[in-house]
């Protein structure tokens, strides 16, 4: 068993065990997050089985870490509220990880040039991030949440003055986008040497 398979196996077992624990504790919202994490953890395998897209092990590991950090620690255990840097870290890591997903998709066409592969990886990563931001917005609208930090009760927007020209939610979204683009650009630069 290679490291990736072991990592995925342990990740899924721990996620399932925590889901069962929170079921017994009757904390269904947290359990729901863990079920979603468990289901999404199979996405890399499904892309390989159904579309022939093989994602590199490092990007898969980063993807699983981002899932856990965002959905369980961030949302369910309120790490977004506890640590002002939590959201930015997730967006940088997702930028890094999704470049590998984008490169894997374009590499299925063997005639692609390296620059095109990396450009696609970068834009794919940023596009996934934008979709994530839209989902945060929809989630806030439907559940009256604060994923986009539009309420000034969150530690990560305390730096926004009351006289700021832009609302806190926009500042959060733009900071998240910049962090994702930075991570994606850094990952594309590193990938240049591996393709």
As a whole number of angstroms, the distance between CA 27 and CA 47 comes to 32
Closest CA to 74 of 33, 41, 24: 33
CB crowding 75-84: b at 16 or more within 10 Å, else e: bbeebbeeee
Q: For the chain, 195 residues long, give each residue's pLDDT as a single digit of tens.
A: 699 999 999 999 999 999 999 999 999 989 989 999 999 999 999 988 988 888 889 999 999 999 999 989 988 898 988 998 998 899 889 888 888 888 887 777 766 677 778 888 888 888 888 888 777 777 776 776 666 666 555 555 444 555 555 566 677 777 788 888 888 888 888 888 877
Tokens of 60: 């898969």
Q: So what's the pLDDT on residue 1?
A: 62
pLDDT at 60: 94
Segment (H or E) for 180: helix 168-191
> What is d(CA 113, CA 133) in angstroms, rounded to the nearest whole number?
30
Inter-CA distances, 29 with 15, 42, 142, 183, Å: 14, 21, 15, 30
Burial of 73 (0-12, 13-18, 19+ CB in 10 A): middle
DSSP label at 156?
G
Amino acid 153: pLDDT: 57
CB 43 within 8 A of CB 99: no
Report DSSP state, residue 162: T
Question: What confidence score (pLDDT) does residue 129 get?
Answer: 83
pLDDT in tens, 153-185: 555 544 455 555 556 667 777 778 888 888 888
Look at the block and give the residue holding tokens 């590193």: 190
- Structure-token pair, residue 77: 């255990």
Residue with tokens 């863990």: 34
CB 72 within 8 A of CB 34: yes
Q: What is the pLDDT of residue 150?
A: 60
pLDDT number for residue 157: 47
- Identify whether the C-beta of residue 180 lies closer than 8 Å to the C-beta of residue 126: yes
Inter-residue contact 180 to 125 (CB < 8 Å):
yes
- Whole-number pLDDT of residue 110: 64
Domain boundaries along the sequence of the chain = 55-191
């Amino acid at each position: 068993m290679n490291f990736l398979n072991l990592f995925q196996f342990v990740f899924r077992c721990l996620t399932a065990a925590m889901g069962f624990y929170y079921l017994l504790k009757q904390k269904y919202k947290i359990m729901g997050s863990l079920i979603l994490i468990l289901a999404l953890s199979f996405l890399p395998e499904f892309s390989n089985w159904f579309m022939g897209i093989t994602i590199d092990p490092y990007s898969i590991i980063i993807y699983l870490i981002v899932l856990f950090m965002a959905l369980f620690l961030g949302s369910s255990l309120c790490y977004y509220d506890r640590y002002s840097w939590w959201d930015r870290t997730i967006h940088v890591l997702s930028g890094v990880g999704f470049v590998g997903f984008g490169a894997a998709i374009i590499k299925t066409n063997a005639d692609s040039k390296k620059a095109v592969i990396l450009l696609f990886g970068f834009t794919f990563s940023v596009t996934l991030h934008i979709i994530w931001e839209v989902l945060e917005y929809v989630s806030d609208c439907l559940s009256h949440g604060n994923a986009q930090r539009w309420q000034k009760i969150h530690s990560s927007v305390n730096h926004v003055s009351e006289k700021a020209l832009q609302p806190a939610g926009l500042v959060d979204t733009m900071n998240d986008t910049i962090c994702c683009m930075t991570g994606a650009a850094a990952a594309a630069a590193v990938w240049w040497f591996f393709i």
